[in-house]
Amino acid sequence: MDPEIKETKQPTAITVAVFGPLTDIFTENRFRAVVALPAAAADLRTELIRQFPELTDHRFQMAVDDIIVGPETAVHVAEEIALLPAFAGG
């Protein structure tokens, strides 16, 4: 757990947006999930994979409210988490 996160975790409903090949896993490109916040982004990723095991074999970055975050980023409040698969191109 991130040492910056000292608040009591609360179940929070958020929108999860998926893009690219991840859309093949879900019936819609946006759906609701419940996660405990505050949490480190890595913990959110783990929780989403627990809830949606189909994500296990996919590589993706996460964005919280339109900002790409690293695994150690503390997430206190979020309206939307986007799962961003690797994009090719130049």
For residue 63, being part of any structural domain is answered with: yes
For residue 22, being part of any structural domain is answered with: yes
Note the pLDDT tens digit of each residue in 69-84. 999 999 998 899 999 9
pLDDT reported for residue 40: 95
Contacts of 34 (CB under 8 A, 6+ apart): 11, 12, 13, 14
For residue 50, being part of any structural domain is answered with: yes
Note the pLDDT tens digit of each residue in 23-70. 988 889 999 999 999 999 999 999 999 999 999 999 999 999 999 999
pLDDT reported for residue 87: 76
**Domain membership of residue 44 as a residue range:** 10-85
pLDDT reported for residue 4: 54
What is the rounded CA–CA span in Å between residue 25 and residue 55? 8
Q: Which of 89, 37, 24, 88 is nearest to 64 (CA)?
A: 37
